Amino acid sequence: MIFPDAPVTLTPEQIVQFNQHLSQVRHDINGSLANLAAVGELIRLRPETAGKYADQLTTQPQRIAALIRQFSAEWEALAGIKRE
């Protein structure tokens, strides 16, 4: 990674917008984690339903990873960080 060699200045509007985006990402990740916890509990209580919920178990972690990748890319762009 190549980091800026000078201070990075963000406008108050950029900070507000970035904080709102961070709040949304946190909300979305917490929602996905809650779904995973609920599915795990359902499967624990009724193991025969595992097949029914298998898709949730595989898609939620991918969704979380995608949210983090997107957020990281936006942060890097805002902060002037470049990937080599």
> Sign of the CA dihedral 31, 35, 36, 37?
positive
- Res 84 pLDDT > 90: no
- 14-67 per-position pLDDT tens digit: 999 999 999 999 999 999 999 999 999 999 999 998 998 888 888 999 999 999
Q: What is the pLDDT of residue 15?
A: 94
Q: What is the pLDDT of residue 9?
A: 93
20 Cβ neighbours under 8 A, 6+ residues apart: none
- 42-52 per-position pLDDT tens digit: 999 999 989 98
Give the pLDDT band of residue 3 (cuts 50, 70, 90): very high
Around Cβ 39, how many Cβ atoms within 10 Å? 19
**The model's pTM:** 0.82
